[in-house]
Amino acid sequence: MSGGLSRVARLREVPVLSALIVLLLLTAILNPAFRGGEGLKAILIESALIAFLAAGQANLIIMRHIDLSVSSTAGLVSFLIGNTSMNNMGISVPQSLMIAVAVGAAVGIVNGALVAYLKLPSLVVTIGTLYLVRGIFNYLAGGVTVTADALPGWVAAIGSGSILGVPDLFVIALILCVLMTIVQTSTRWGRDLYAIGSNPPAAARVGIPVAHREFAAFVLNGIIAGLAGMLLLFRFSFADATAGLGIELYVVAACVIGGVAIAGGVGTAMGALIGAVLLQAITFALGALGVSQFWQQAVAGALLVLAIAFDRIVALRSTQRINRLAEAPV
Amino acid sequence: MTSLTKKVLAAAAGAVVIAGLATAPAAQAAPKSGLKIAVIPKAVNIGYFKGWNDGAQKACKELKAAKCDYIGPTQATGPAQLKFINQAIQQKYNAIVLSAADQNALAPALKKAKAAGICVVTSDADVADTTTRAASVLPASAQRIGEAEVDWIAQEIGGKGKVAILSAAATAANQNAWIDFMKAYLPKKYPNIQLVGVYYGDDDATKSAQQYNQILTEHPDIAGIISPTTVGIRAAAQEKKSKGGTVAITGLGLPSEMKDYVLGGQVTKFGLWNPIDLGYVGTYAAAECASSGNKVPKSFKAGSKTYTQGANGVIFLGDPATFDKSNITKFAAIY
Amino acid sequence: MSRGAFRLSWDKSILLLLILLVLFGGMNNEYFATGDNVNFILGDISEIMLIAFPMALLIIVKEIDLSVASSLTLASALCGVTWQATGSIWVAVLAGIMTGVACGLLNGLLVTRLGLSSLAVTIGTLALYRGLCYVALGDTPIADFPTEFTDLGYTPIAGTFLPWVVVPMVVAGIVFWYVLHGTRFGRWLFAIGQGDEAAEFSGIPVLRVKLWLFILTGLMCGIAGIGYTVRFASSSPDGALGFELLVIAAVLFGGVAIAGGVGTIWGVIAAVLIWGFSQSYLQLIGWDANALVIVSGVLLLLSVTIPRLLGALRESVAQRTFRPKGTEGAPPPPGEGVAEHSPAGAGHDQGSHRG
């Protein structure tokens, strides 16, 4: 069973990854300036935050849930850390982690409790907390801006550093996505998520503690959103009331493109990471290919729709194949 | 109060000077005290408008306004500002000082405000239909701002090379007006500078940083970037700081946000007017308007200076100030 | 049981809440219940109201459309471009509305023909339609509409304080109310919301119905786009940002269950009005913009939590056949505040999300 599961996972990621490679190659062929590696590096930096958030979001979408409040949580954390540093002449790594985990877990617990135990729809709950947290955040922030000189050196160091040419931010996102994928595909906890997403009543009947799993996944996603706030700060060395505004739909889009279907039960964090990179690569490629600024968003949107449609078709095919495989021995 | 009598005397003197020029009421009195003034920024969460509001509050204090409320949306769009213009209309404020986030979308609301007898003075950003407001207090003419920025970048890159513009939203009226003058001025004055494109960062730090990287990806040999918006120049400077590089960056920035980059060498020189002055003079103009029959006098005093309306009721405060290593620390402490 | 004497469902509760809010606001703030302020509020909520109607129907059949704000803006943009090209405002209005219809049609085809999830598809078309706005308008908003056209945006209907946008709102409200609660088509929607397959077996053309709902949503976005153009006297590519979540929030606040199968038009009307009136009231008593955002979030959370808690309460009451002194939560009715059913979230564990 788990072998079949990981096969599905692999199958779903292959087309996205190939699309990404084809796109990058095509761009490099058509625009020499893109070959230097700087373009690829920029794509990785820009996709890191979305990929990081997608790792937690994937758990929820696999269970047919969604969390739109992540952008507000991440923004709030980024501002709180920055503001604390500004008021106290610096902030340490443990202090920052504490803020990130505390705020993220708090939002996650609210979302999780309402969804898992009160059985409220996650879309409604998390639009609610999206507004609520954004409102509190903006109330605290007002017109305050945290600038680079108010931040400790390690923030900028992580934000601009790289390991073997790969930007630190992307390495962080990659590590999280790999770990999450292992959890999803190789642990009891992770496999429960797929079971819940495939058929919630059946999952409950076979003894999976559905509510506890849901609650845990929401809290985990909240904490990841909190930590993403740190990434946001690393990335921009700057925070104000607009931090993180509007990224929630990009996170969902990255998951969907990466094969984590809204219908639940399929996909992995690694897929979502590839989806996030593809999303950024499309934007950069369009620019590098000389598509006008005014056309870029339209073309990117059209490609997004195509990607979703394409993924659906591939998924249907692979389901048919698996069904055939499953039927064979019977 | 002595300052009040001084003001009256000075205003009278000013009125004598311009008596021959305009039909302004000859015995110009100081603006009324006890006015209700609404100060509406593009968005309350933008640092730039904190300085702008500081100026407005200072003026209100001097004017002994009964109310001087800083109200505005969290998102810098015209439709979002509409609610606050309505609030001012409903609560029967005497005057509105407005930085218009959209030059067209507010026209119906401003007509309504005018019909309700409220004086609207735009400050910092004007509206397209100039009949919908009494006067406008702007930093300098679009031509001067656009050309000054071109001069700054030309100076830094030695008058030749590729240059890109990193703007705010594609529809930002101020930026578009400046950019039009940049485009006209560049080939005339600096034929060896090639403008490779205008990029839009939407006044969003994330998008602006992405656009900076997009510029460098598309044009690795870019010599300079002009960013006529405080969000864009800061994002560009931060990107340059974290990634290194030699591209020259200039434009309009807030000294307090740019200090680190000037001292760090990422930005040599940039400019901006003083938002405090804009808010201050705008509020005086609004108070004058509410005190003299819903018209801003041709010439009026704000603090110690006299300001005179030009064409279309626009009052220019003067060329943008420039900032570099020599003065950034001083101005960063102010705004 | 005498509980039947007063049965209070969520949509009735919020209607009551609306009345209380207007009365309370009118008594406590001299600026609130004036004709001029009501005129403003009705104009301000008009786009949300117009789009909330078809969105309610979509959510009842377990679909969703996140592209509505982009569709609205694209309709406005095409209206402006056509006005400049033809000089005829009627042609321009028609072009705007047809643009909305086209947006809805594309969404509907992708969802019903390819079997894609509407949440995913409309995140994609949200970006696509917004992008097309920039293609159509570039960096220059169109603002040279004839004044007779844009004056409709702020002059009230002669002899009243009502803005002109009330006309499409009232017409749409009546039509949607009738369609949902008075026709076979309406019953189909509830049946589909209870379960696609069962509906299919009972002979309902599920996919065709859904396609029409998406087209209808596009049509209303088109009409709202015209209203938006009039109210702001311009077409700009960056209009109506973030409207999609406001519309959905309003619909859900109005008691339409995201799990499908439950909802009323008057619940939606009351919800949109409460949102508009409460925002205005709080603003007039001096709350700042950030506090208003917090209130939106809290209202939305309460709208699902209260019915759920009341439902749980009622269940336990039913089990013990014991009448509570119902004072918990919700607007205090003269009798016991007992929820008839808890709409939102009822289907949570029966696969609440669309697939």
* DSSP β-ladder status, B161-167 and B135-138: unpaired
Q: How far apart are CA B313 and CA B294, in angstroms?
A: 13
Distant-in-sequence, close-in-space partners of C16: CB < 8 Å, separation ≥ 6 = C8, C331, C333
Q: Under DSSP, is residue A254 helix (H, G, I), strand (E, B) or coil?
A: helix
CA dihedral sign, ordered C328, C330, C333, C336 = negative
Q: How does DSSP classify residue A115?
A: I
Residues in chain B within 8 Å Cβ distance of A143: 44-47, 49-50
In terms of Cβ atoms closer than 10 Å to its own Cβ (0-12, 13-18, 19+), residue B173 is: buried
Which of B36, B31, B86 minimizes the C-alpha distance to B63?
B31
CA of A93, closest CA in chain C: separation in Å? 30
SS (H, E, C) B149-207: HHHHHHHHHCCCEEEEEEECCCCCHHHHHHHHHHHHHHHHHCCCEEEEEEEECCCCHHH
Q: Under DSSP, is residue B249 helix (H, G, I), strand (E, B) or coil?
A: strand
Cβ within 8 Å, pair A125-C138: no
Distant-in-sequence, close-in-space partners of C263: CB < 8 Å, separation ≥ 6 = C56, C59, C60, C180, C251, C254, C255, C256, C257, C343
- Among the partner-chain residues C126, C294, C308, the one whose CB lies closest to the CB of A120 is C308
Q: How far apart are CA C97 and CA C246, in angstroms?
A: 21
Chains meeting A at 3+ CB pairs closer than 8 A?
Answer: B, C
Q: What is the pLDDT of residues C166-210, one digit of tens each?
A: 999 999 999 999 999 999 999 999 999 999 889 999 999 999 999
Other C-beta atoms closer than 10 Å to the C-beta of A258 total: 31
Domain boundaries, chain A: 2-32+39-325
CA of A295, closest CA in chain C: separation in Å? 6
Torsion of CA A303, A293, C48, C151, to 10 degrees: -140
Q: Which of residues 70-89 of A touch B (CB under 8 A)?
A: none
Other C-beta atoms closer than 10 Å to the C-beta of A318 total: 18
CA dihedral sign, ordered C16, C22, C26, C29 = positive
Q: Tens place of pLDDT for every residue, chain C, 355 residues?
A: 344 434 567 777 888 888 999 899 988 888 888 888 999 999 999 999 999 999 999 999 999 999 999 999 999 999 999 999 999 999 999 999 999 999 999 999 999 998 888 988 998 999 999 999 999 998 888 999 998 888 887 788 888 889 899 999 999 999 999 999 999 999 999 999 999 889 999 999 999 999 999 999 999 999 999 999 999 999 999 888 888 888 998 998 898 988 889 999 999 999 999 999 999 999 898 888 888 889 888 988 888 888 788 878 878 877 776 544 444 433 433 333 333 333 333 333 333 333 3
Q: How far apart are CA A269 and CA A52, in angstroms?
A: 9
Q: Are C103 and C68 in contact (CB under 8 A)?
A: no
Torsion of CA A319, A322, A324, A326, to 10 degrees: -130
Q: How far apart are CA A204 and CA A196, in angstroms?
A: 8
Q: Which of residues 222-241 of A touch B (CB under 8 A)?
A: 235-238, 240-241
How confident is the model at residue C7, as a pLDDT?
A: 52
CA of A306, closest CA in chain C: separation in Å? 9
Q: How far apart are CA C290 and CA C275, in angstroms?
A: 15
Q: Are C330 and C340 in contact (CB under 8 A)?
A: no
* DSSP β-ladder status, B299-302 and B270-272: unpaired
Domains of chain B: 2-140+274-318 (3.40.50.2300), 142-272 (3.40.50.2300)
ipTM value for the complex? 0.82
Q: Are C242 and C69 in contact (CB under 8 A)?
A: yes
What are residue B322's DSSP bridge partners?
Answer: B271
Q: Under DSSP, is residue A328 helix (H, G, I), strand (E, B) or coil?
A: coil
Q: Are B225 and B270 in contact (CB under 8 A)?
A: no
Q: What is the pLDDT of residues C246-291, one digit of tens each?
A: 899 899 889 898 888 999 999 999 999 999 999 999 989 888 888 8
Q: If residue B37 lies in a helix (H) or strand (E), which one and from where to where? A: strand B36-40
- Average pLDDT of every residue of chain C: 85
Residue B35 tokens read as 């006015």
The amino acid at B78: G
Domains of chain C: 2-350 (1.10.3470)
Q: Under DSSP, is residue A229 helix (H, G, I), strand (E, B) or coil?
A: helix
Residue C120 tokens read as 């995913």
Q: Tens place of pLDDT for every residue, chain B, 335 residues?
A: 444 444 444 444 444 334 334 444 434 567 888 899 999 999 888 778 988 999 999 999 999 999 999 999 888 888 889 999 999 999 999 999 999 988 899 998 999 999 999 999 999 999 999 999 999 999 988 999 999 999 999 999 998 999 999 998 888 888 999 999 999 999 999 999 999 999 998 888 888 988 998 898 888 899 999 999 998 999 999 889 888 889 999 999 999 889 989 999 999 999 999 899 999 999 999 999 998 888 888 888 888 888 999 889 999 988 888 999 989 988 888 88
What are residue B198's DSSP bridge partners?
Answer: B165
Q: How does DSSP classify residue A113?
A: I
Cβ within 8 Å, pair A304-C127: yes
How confident is the model at residue A322, as a pLDDT?
A: 64
- Among the partner-chain residues A65, A133, A298, the one whose CB lies closest to the CB of C128 is A298
Q: Are A104 and A226 in contact (CB under 8 A)?
A: yes
Which ranges constitute the DSSP H helices of chain A?
A: 2-30, 38-62, 70-88, 93-112, 122-141, 153-160, 168-186, 188-198, 200-205, 210-236, 248-257, 269-288, 293-327
Long-range contacts of A23-30 (CB under 8 A, 24+ apart): A23/A278, A23/A281, A23/A282, A23/A285, A24/A281, A24/A285, A26/A285, A27/A281, A27/A284, A27/A285, A27/A288, A27/A289, A30/A288, A30/A289
**Most confident among A64-68, A293-297, B41-45 (mean pLDDT):** A64-68
Report the percentage of chain A scoring pLDDT > 90. Answer: 50
CA of C271, closest CA in chain B: separation in Å? 19
Which of A54, A61, A34 minimizes the C-alpha distance to A274?
A54
Q: What is the pLDDT of residues A157-201, one digit of tens each?
A: 888 888 988 999 999 999 999 999 999 999 999 999 999 999 888
Q: How far apart are CA C308 and CA A118, in angstroms?
A: 7
Half-sphere CA count of C275, side-chain side, radius 13 A: 28
Q: Are A90 and A246 in contact (CB under 8 A)?
A: no
Q: Which of residues 245-304 of A touch B (CB under 8 A)?
A: 245, 247, 283-284, 287-288, 290, 293-294
How confident is the model at residue C73, as a pLDDT?
A: 96
B40 lies within 8 A of chain C by CB: no
Residue A48 tokens read as 């890191």
B245 lies within 8 A of chain A by CB: no
Question: Which CATH code is given to the segment(s) A2-32+39-325?
Answer: 1.10.3470
Residues in chain B within 8 Å Cβ distance of C143: 103-104, 107, 128
How confident is the model at residue C110, as a pLDDT?
A: 95
B278 lies within 8 A of chain A by CB: no
CA of B150, closest CA in chain A: separation in Å? 22
How confident is the model at residue A35, as a pLDDT?
A: 75
Q: How far apart are CA B321 and CA B276, in angstroms?
A: 13
Q: Which residue has the tokens 């040279």?
A: C144
Q: How far apart are CA B271 and CA B248, in angstroms?
A: 14
Phi–psi pair at B252, nearest 5 degrees: -110, 120
Q: Which residue has the tokens 């020189």?
A: B269
Half-sphere CA count of B323, side-chain side, radius 13 A: 30
Residues in chain B within 8 Å Cβ distance of C151: 108
Phi–psi pair at B270, nearest 5 degrees: -150, 180
CA A315 to chain centre: 21
Residues in chain A within 8 Å Cβ distance of C123: 249, 252-253, 256, 304
How confident is the model at residue B237, as a pLDDT?
A: 93
What are residue C156's DSSP bridge partners?
Answer: C163
